[in-house]
Amino acid sequence: MSNDGTIHARGIRKSFGYKTVLQNIDLDIACGEVCCIIGPSGSGKSTLLRCINGLETVDSGVLKVNGEDFGYYETDTAYHALSPKKVAAQRTRVGMVFQQFNLFPNMTAQENVMSGPVLVKGTHKKQAAERAQELLASVGLGAFGDRYPAQLSGGQQQRVAIARSLAMDPEIMLFDEPTSALDPEKVGEVLAVMQDLAKKGMTMVVVTHEMGFAREVSDTLLFMDEGVIVERGAPREVLANPKERRTQAFLKQVL
């Protein structure tokens, strides 16, 4: 059975110095599943996401992405770090969308989308350009390929960023508060693109404060606080009838 598009984590621990930011995280995400993570800031939800993409390394625990140990290989006694080349190869299968978009300002929208395939996979430029154009069209920006990021609105930039990640044909897409830096009017256009992606069967992990999106689109919802997963379940269930005190208190504030 193929494990593509799955995430499996058991007992993940991560600390920055003395501060423990993730502890005892168990996670199982199936192929095509959409998982939303909510929680207050500093609860470790972004760190968890960044671990799945290798921007942070976990201190201990099992982390399998697409069925492979991420960033490490396992021997009888320990996990050994993989070479940068192999980590990079694993990363190409996991797309990441950032809160601050992080488009390359020295490249046009199209060049941004092409950057992964051309610079990393060595795809032919012409082919990559065609694919980039298709992807930009699919996020509603077909006519904006020659614009530079500074000439695009926040919502447009974020859609280009999504297209850039998709250009690598990832099995999993991670979204780190993709709409938090946008003005309220532009949130909808980004969420629409994400909803579209979810319908197409992409495995998605979304850290978000958009409760409406979490309710409508996600299959599972995690509530995190102080580095642990406090509550998890079907989104409607968790949002309507939270069982834990902490979840109730949080939802009371945000809903």
Partner 1 sequence: MVQTISHGSGNKIDRTDPALKPRLRRRGVFEYVAWVVCGLIGAGVLVSVSTNPNFKWDVVAKYFTYETIINGLMLTIFLTVASMFLGTLLGLGLAIMRSSRIKPVALTAGVYITLFRGTPVLVQLIFWFNIAALYPNLTIGIPFTNISTAVDVNAVMGPITAALIGLSLNQAAYMAEIIRGGFSAVGKGQIEAADSLGMSGATKMRKVIIPQAMPSIIPATGNQFIGMFKETSLVSVLGVAELLQSAQLIYARTYETIPLLIVASLWYLVMTLLLSYPQSLLEKRYSRATSSLPRKAKKIVLTEPEGVAR
Name the residues that contact partner 1, by CB under 8 A: 53-55, 84-85, 88-89, 91-92, 94-96, 98, 100, 102-106, 108, 115-116, 119-120, 138-144, 146-148, 150-151, 153, 155-156, 159, 161, 164-165, 168, 188-190, 192-193, 196
Which helix (H) or strand (E) element contains residue 12?
Answer: strand 7-16
CB of 241 to partner 1, least distance (A): 33
d(CA 214, CA 7): 19
Could you tell me how far CA 155 lies from the centroid of its own chain? 17
Choose between 1 and 150: whose C-beta lies nearer to partner 1: 150
Radius of gyration of the chain (CA): 18
Residue found by looking up tokens 């992606």 in the block: 197
CA dist 151 to 35, 105, 155, 160, 202, Å? 32, 10, 12, 12, 29
Choose between 85 and 252: whose C-beta lies nearer to partner 1: 85
CB of 142 to partner 1, least distance (A): 7
Looking at residue 146, its amino acid is D
CB of 242 to partner 1, least distance (A): 31
CB of 217 to partner 1, least distance (A): 14
Choose between 32 and 188: whose C-beta lies nearer to partner 1: 188
Say what the alpha-carbon torsion angle 58, 59, 62, 63 is, to the nearest 10 degrees.
10
CB of 245 to partner 1, least distance (A): 35
Choose between 92 and 233: whose C-beta lies nearer to partner 1: 92
